[in-house]
Structure 1
Amino acid sequence: MARQVLLVIWFLSLGSALGQVSYSIPEEMAKGSLVGNIAQDLGLDLKRLKSGKARIYTGDSTEYIELNKDRGVLLIKERIDREALCGQTTPCALHLQIILENPMDFYSITIEITDMNDNAPSFEKGRISFRISESAILGSKFMLYPAIDPDVGINGLQTYTLNPTDNFNLKFRNKPGDGQNVEMVLQRPLDREKQQNIILVLKAFDGGDPQLSGSIEIHITVLDVNDNAPVFTKSVYKATVTENAPKDTIVSTVSATDADEGINGKIEYSIASMQDNARHIFDINKENGQVSVVGKIDFEKARNYEIRVQASDHGGLTDSCKIIVDVLDINDNKPVIDIVSKTNVIAENSPSDTVVIMINVQDPDSGENGKVQCSINENIPFSLKSVKTNFFSLVTDSDLDREKESNYNISVTCTDEGVPSLSSSIILCLQISDVNDNAPVFEKSSYETSVQENNTPGLSIFTVSASDADFNQNARVSYILEDSSVNGVPVSSLVSVSADSGVIHAVRSFDYEQIKYFHVRVKAQDGGSPPLSSNVSVKIIIQDHNDNAPQVLYPVHASFGRCGLSGH
């Protein structure tokens, strides 16, 4: 079938483009039917739909539409019955959202469901019966049970016919806001002696193509002598009732009079017709005309009701009136908080206005009772922003530091403006992930140690230690001996340092007589990417050991023979 596409896109500032697309489709489309090319209409790349984990959010468990990410199209997931979905409400539309992540994007989709003529008019009862006096005056009106057609517009109920028309003709009014009024009007006198029982056929037609119809028989018993019909004091009664009103609450009292005396003047009241959603909510006392509550009234399901009441005397004459009941809302619904999209972990270097969580809040009450304000706990680096009606996003609003706070329990409270107000809360748990923003730090700015000469190679001389405030790999410290030389000799030929423990070992045996002290620099480097580091100076003093005998350097001793002079 032909489909109409209405495309409207706008942008809101929150780091995400928020668009809206509208489609119009007929009801009863087969599963798998195409609704619209959402990727094309929103200007989205198919790769974006997949990488963003595109999904449909409807806010409730009813899902008639599915998203095919491979083709970028919306398809019929379940057959849609417009009458079951919306009843008589027009226009009938599905409201859904497409959510994407990384980055988070939000698109609103409206799909209008148009009516098909898939219901014929039907009557609630099998037949209509009247007892009418033969003395009934011309022009007397008899209200008929209207037919019901759940279709809307031209496919809904349009007209009636009545056959035969020897004694009666048909009067039908169908005004917007006034409902339907079907009456049978006496146009020729009745004569019980000629015809005591009359059978008429009332037929109802809709305006669809092809046209559908339904019929009901009207059985009339002609009675003797009752020449005054009941007359209501008003044609329309108006009343109000508070939702959740207790049973037996009096909503309205109707009253009719009959000029006849005796049994012909005694009036009984009955409910002739009402909307389907009111049939188990109201009843009438047939003796005094009091209309009372017998079921549960819920403003969120129906805000008003129309009740047709009939007054009948015992001679078979009737009159009718209408009661319009407006329901007053009370604040009986808490706001409902639904998490649309959530990030459980966020990096500590995330910029301000990073979207962490998106929630949807609904309150089915009306007016001030349905207006909702949401807030979060104080003294945390987050804020709650309204991005669209009933949608809020939790964003960062200041710097995060995992080393100061590694996780947050964020309480979101939504309160309506009713009196007294009602509220709901949820706790959102958010973990802060580490980035390598801290260099290792030594315990001291410099170190000094000593070792006795003539040590054995491999001797542990000293241990340096540095700590890193980061987490896991970013906090894993390795120690490195920086290149330098001592008296022209590489320092690495004198000492080494353990990368894991920071222990400084002697590479060879030291000789105090050759070197009395020397300095080395040790670097501590973490395992981040890129790594961060710091260094420290270690002074190593060689302690003397008595390992050399004295030597006479002066005076120099000459070598002589035996005492005396040698002869010539």
Structure 2
Amino acid sequence: MAWQVLLLIFLYGLGSVQGQIIYSVPEEMPKGSVVGNIAQDLGLDISRLKSGKARIYTGDGTEYVDLMKEKGILFIKDRIDREALCGQKTPCALHFQIILENPMEFYSVTVQITDINDNAPIFSVDKIAFEISESSPLGARFTLEKAIDSDVGINGLQGYALNPSDIFELETTTHSDDVKSVVMILKKSLDREKEDSLSLLLTATDGGDPQMSGTVQIYISVLDANDNAPICSQRIYKSSVLENAPKGTDLTTVQASDADEGLNGKVTYTLSKPAAEVNGLFAIDDTTGVVMLIGQTDYEKTKRYQIDVLAKDHGGHSDTCKVIIDVIDENDNSPVINVMSKLASIPENSKPGTVVSILNIHDSDSGENGNVQCTLNENMPFILKSTSNNFYSLITDGELDRERESVYNISVTCSDEGLPSLSSSITVSLQISDVNDNAPVFERNSYEASIPENNSPGLSVFTVKAIDIDFSQNARISYMLEESTINGVAASSYVSVNAESGVIHAVRSFDYEQIKHFNFHVKAQDGGSPPLSTNVSVKINIQDQNDNAPQILYPVQTSGSLVAEIVPRSADVGYLVSKVVAVDVDSGQNAWLSYKLLKGPERALFEVGAQNGEIRTIRQVTDKDAVKQKLAIVVEDNGQPLRSATVNVNVALADTFPEVLSEFTDFTHDKEYNDNLTFYLVLALAVVSFLFIVSIIAILSVKCYRWRRERMFYKSNGNLPVIPYYPPLYADVGGTGTLQHVYNYEVCGTTDSRRSDIKCRRPCNESIVSLDATGTLPHVHSEKLLMDDQVSLLL
């Protein structure tokens, strides 16, 4: 069957390009017939149809046409019967949309269904019967049953023919709704006596090719005279009714009059065989002619009804009139919201104006009742934009942030302008997918922790923790050390960090005495692409442990000799014998030292300062006190566990040096050294004597040298270089002796005195006697003692 395709394309915006295309096809095309090449007509690639997931959307869900994406063509999916689809409505068309995604586009498609002559005119009755009086005047009119042809236009009902036509003729009237009514008119007088009945054939024909027709038989019984027919007071009655009016509502009253009397003048009203759309909706009182509502009208289905009323007397005469009923729209339909397409999720960095859904919104009511206004729930970064008739785009209107809102339930509410207003709403759920736009953030600006020294390698120190408010992989945090050095060594040789948990472990054992604290940086990096990171400063303090015992600096303990402190027997109470000097390389309480006397003579003679380690006498020395005294001093720190060191201090109670020597041999630890002690003492005396003689010679040389320079000065009358002046009775000895750890003395003597004045700063070295294992005074100490005596004798 030949058919035409009419194509009209026009474009307008819907986020991206939207088009409308119109095809025209005849009804009853076989399934699979091609409607048109939509890809070619819209200028789209076949690949775009596939990638965009092209699909057909129809408002009512009925699909007569389908899309073959592989070829880009529209084809007939199901049988299309124009009469079943549209009835007498023209034009008849299918309206649907083709939706594409990524980006979202849609195109409106209209397929007009053209009529073919596939329906013959038919009559709703098998026969038509009349009783006509023989006295009926010429021109008497008899309304005949209309034929119905479901086709439209030229294929619809075109006319009637009557056979035979010698007594009656037909008059056809076309109304404004294109409905053709037919009236049979008497053109020749009837004579019952000649013919009491007639049989006629009424034929209805359409204009199709080939032409189709329908027939009905007319039977006429000729009655005796009833020479007046009913006459309607008006040909057309008009009325209106609210679409939701209750059943039984009176619409209008049809009136007809008959000039006859008695039964021949009594008029009865009936509705002509109603069309399908009015059947069951209206009724007429056969006596009063009141037309009433017996069903439920719907403005959205039919806006106007036309009813033929037959007024008939008992003589068979009749007349017809038309009743037109307009349905008044009421706001009885809420807006209908259809989601044509929507995105399940969009990334949080989507730009404003991104289309997330396309909605079709319509209201079947008319006028203000059909005007729709739509709103979204407040505080949503979305707006609803009208793009074309009844189509809206839901688009973003601001920045999205998944960390602030991961899912939006967008409530779309549409209300009409009727009274009262009716509304509908739907909820569009939209997931916001994560983008790596947030770097990890540590819980603190910096971290500080402590670890005791002597720790085990691998010990967990503490944990750093960072939070990333992104999602999934973008929020997965890995920890690592920033490249840095500590005392010139890589930080990774000191500590390590667990990449997953952020737990910091000590890599080595720390010694507080070597390093007290150190700093490094830990970086937290997420798993996004590209990854984002941040770092934090970490300070580790090493806690001191009491792992070092006190060290005795003085008196010095020697393996081969003994040192003795000399205390004169005339020493007063509180006499400073010596001072124990000790240090502890620990810190804090671990380095707080205290001194106490662990072992001393039976008769308490000495005490030790608990804080300063000074050894002093606590009473006068008596003759009963032994010359040699041995003290054991213990030095303790304040740590846990407590650590200590012990030193032995030997004290000699004597006024003269020989007295000390006489007792010195008893200080030795081994008897085998006693024989050698005398030898070393004699040797030391010899050396000291030699040094004494050298000193005398040196002194005399100096005096001679100064005497000569004075004489030269006087002779030169002051032209010689200035020589420092000394008083005549003083000689410059210039000696300042020092002991280790700031124990020193000064010697000052006069040139004309046989005694020496010695100013000492305690403790003084002249009170120290050192005896080695042989029992002999070592060279240095003996030299010092003999020098003091010789200087005293010299002066």
Superposition pairs for residues 364-513 of structure 1, below 5 Å? 364-513=364-513
Deviations 1:282-317 (A, max 9, x none): 111111111111122111111111111111111111
Query: Per-residue deviation at 1:178?
Result: 5.8
Give the number of the structure with larger relative contact order, counting CA–CA contacts within 8 Å between residues 6 or more apart: 1
C-alpha displacement of 1:493: 1.4
Letter in structure 2 aligned against 1:482: E
Alignment of 1:192-231 (within 5 A): 192-231=192-231
* Matching residue of 1:39: 39
- Deviation string 1:441-464 (CA, Å, 9 cap, x unpaired) is 112222223333332221222322
Bigger mean CA deviation after superposition, 320-329 or 343-352: 343-352
SS in 2 for 1:47: helix
The residue aligned with 1:167 is 167
In the alignment, residue 54 of structure 1 is paired with which amino acid? A
Paired residue secondary structure (2:277): helix
Q: Distance in 2 between matches of 1:361 and 1:159?
A: 44
Distance 2:388 2:298 in 1: 28
- Relative distance call for 1:547 and 1:557 in structure 2 (3 A) is closer
1:375 partner SS: strand
Partners of 2:489 and 2:549 lie apart in 1 by 24
Q: In the alignment, what sits opposite 2:6?
A: 5
Deviation at 1:60, TM superposition (A): 1.1
1:565 Cα deviation from its structure 2 partner: 4.4
Deviation at 1:342, TM superposition (A): 2.3
TM superposition shift of 1:157: 0.6
Deviations 1:336-387 (A, max 9, x none): 2222112232322221122222222222111111111111111121111212
Amino acid at match of 2:495: V
Query: How many angstroms does 1:321 deviate by?
Result: 1.0
Amino acid at match of 1:95: H
Range with bigger deviation, 372-381 or 406-415: 406-415
Q: Give 1:518 deviation, angstroms.
A: 2.1
CA distance in 2, matches of 1:245, 1:514: 103
Separation of aligned partners in 2, 1:452 and 1:275: 104
The answer to whether the 8 Å contact 1:440/1:525 transfers is: yes
- Does 444-453 or 29-38 show the bigger shift? 444-453
What residue is the counterpart of 1:564 in the other structure?
Answer: 681
Kindly provide the CA deviation profile for residues 95-132 of structure 1, in whole angstroms up to 9, marking residues without a partner as x. 00011122211110000000000000010000111111
Report how many aligned residue pairs link the two structures: 567
Q: Which residue of 1 is the match for residue 183 of structure 2?
A: 183
* Inter-partner Cα distance in structure 2 for 1:418 and 1:179: 35
Q: Partners of 1:456 and 1:248 in 2: how far apart?
A: 101
Residue deviations 1:164-222 (CA, integer Å, cap 9, x gap): 11211111122443631201111111111111100011101100000001101111111
User: Could you tell me how far apart the structure 2 residues matched to 1:542 and 1:245 are?
Assistant: 94
- Which letter does structure 2 place at the counterpart of 1:3? Q
Query: Retained in 2: the 8 A contact 1:170–1:182?
Result: yes
Q: What secondary structure, in the 3-state scheme, does the structure 2 residue paired with 1:183 have?
A: strand
Match of 1:97 in 2: 97
Q: Which moved more, 1:204-213 or 1:415-424?
A: 415-424
Deviates more, 1:265-274 or 1:169-178: 169-178
Q: Equivalents in 2 of 1:382, 1:218: separation in Å? A: 70
Higher deviation after alignment, 534-543 or 18-27: 534-543
- Mapped partners of 2:343, 2:489: distance in 1: 57
**Alpha-carbon distance between aligned partners in 2 of 1:548 and 1:9, rounded to the nearest angstrom:** 99
State the SS of the aligned residue for 2:395: strand
Deviation at 1:39, TM superposition (A): 1.0
The answer to which structure has the higher strand fraction is 1
The separation in 2 between residues aligned to 1:46 and 1:65, in whole angstroms, is: 18
Whole-angstrom CA distance in 2 between matches of 1:234 and 1:513: 126
Alignment match, 1:148: 148
- Per mean C-alpha deviation after superposition, the further-off stretch among 195-204 and 175-184 is 175-184
**Quick check: 1:16–1:103 contact (8 Å CA) kept in 2?**
yes
Looking at structure 2, the residues matched to 483 and 319 of structure 1 have their Cα atoms a distance apart, in angstroms, of: 110
Match for residue 123 of structure 1? 123
Answer yes or no: is 1:64 the counterpart of 2:43.
Answer: no
The Cα of 1:515 is off from its aligned counterpart by 3.0
1:257-303: CA deviation from partner (whole Å, max 9, x where unpaired): 11111221111111124332002111111111111111221111111
Aligned to 1:247, the other structure's residue is in SS state coil
Q: What is the CA distance between 1:509 and its match in structure 2? A: 2.0
Amino acid of the structure 2 residue aligned with 1:207: G
Flag the 1:548–1:498 CA change in 2: closer, same or farther, 3 A.
farther
- Tell me, which stretches of 5 or more residues in structure 2 are unaligned? 562-675, 688-795
Is contact 1:274-1:306 (8 Å) kept? no
Cα pair 1:7 1:41 within 8 Å, conserved: no
Gaps of 5+ in 1: none
- Are 2:203 and 2:213, in contact at CA under 8 Å, matched by a contact in 1? yes
8 Å Cα contact 1:518-1:539 kept in structure 2: yes
Counterpart position of 1:247: 247
- Contact persistence 2:124–2:273 (CA under 8 A): no
SS of alignment partner, residue 525 of structure 2: strand
How many Å apart are 1:434 and its aligned residue? 2.0
Query: Contact (CA 8 Å) 1:258, 1:313: kept in 2 or not?
Result: yes
| Alpha-carbon distance in 2 for matches of 1:541, 1:417 | 75
- State the TM-score, normalizing by the size of structure 2: 0.69
Superposed displacement of residue 237, structure 1: 1.1
| Structure with higher helix content | 2
Paired residue secondary structure (1:274):
coil
Query: Alignment RMSD, CA only?
Result: 2.2
Q: Residue deviations 1:462-487, cap 9 Å, x none? A: 32221112222222211110111122
- Contact 1:275–1:305, Cα closer than 8 Å, also in 2: no
Using the TM superposition, name which of 74-83 and 300-309 deviates more.
300-309
User: 1:555: Cα distance to partner?
Assistant: 9.4
Moved more, 440-449 or 18-27: 440-449
Task: Name the CA distance, whole Å, in 1 between partners of 2:328 and 2:453.
Answer: 99
Q: More displaced, 199-208 or 466-475?
A: 466-475
Task: Classify the secondary structure of the residue corresponding to 1:405.
Answer: coil
User: What is the CA-CA distance between 1:557 and the residue it aligns to?
Assistant: 8.6
Amino acid at match of 1:540: I
Supply the AA of the counterpart residue of 2:432: I
- Using the TM superposition, give the Cα deviation of residue 505 of structure 1 relative to its aligned residue in structure 2, in angstroms: 1.5
What's the CA shift for 1:244?
Answer: 2.3
| Residue 22 of structure 2: aligned partner | 22
Distance of 1:25 and 1:176 partners within structure 2: 28
Which amino acid in 2 is paired with 1:45? D
Deviation of residue 78 (structure 1)? Answer: 0.4
Q: Percent identity at matched positions?
A: 60
Q: How far off its partner does 1:151 sit?
A: 0.1
> Contact 1:357/1:395 (CA < 8 Å) preserved in 2?
yes
CA distance in 1, matches of 2:549, 2:558: 21
Secondary structure of the equivalent of 1:283? strand
**Partner residue, 1:550:** 551
Check 1:349–1:192 CA distance in 2 against 1; reply closer, same or farther (3 A cut): same
Stretches (4+) displaced over 6 A: 553-561
CA contact (8 A) 1:273 1:309 kept: no
Could you state the TM-score of these two structures normalised by the residue count of structure 1? 0.95
Alignment partner, residue 306 of structure 1 = 306
Give the Å deviation of 1:35. Answer: 0.6
SS at match of 2:505: strand
Structure 2 SS opposite 1:48: helix
- Match for 1:564: what amino acid? L
Deviation of 1:552 (Å): 5.4
Residues 17-59 of structure 1: CA distance to partner in whole angstroms, max 9, x if unpaired?
Answer: 1111110000001111101111111111111111111111101
SS in 2 for 1:277: coil
Distance, in Å, in 2 between the alignment partners of 1:535 and 1:330 is 69
Aligned to 1:317: 317
Which whole-Å CA distance do the structure 1 matches of 2:462 and 2:294 have between them? Answer: 91
Give, in whole Å, the separation in 1 of the partners of 2:494 and 2:257: 123
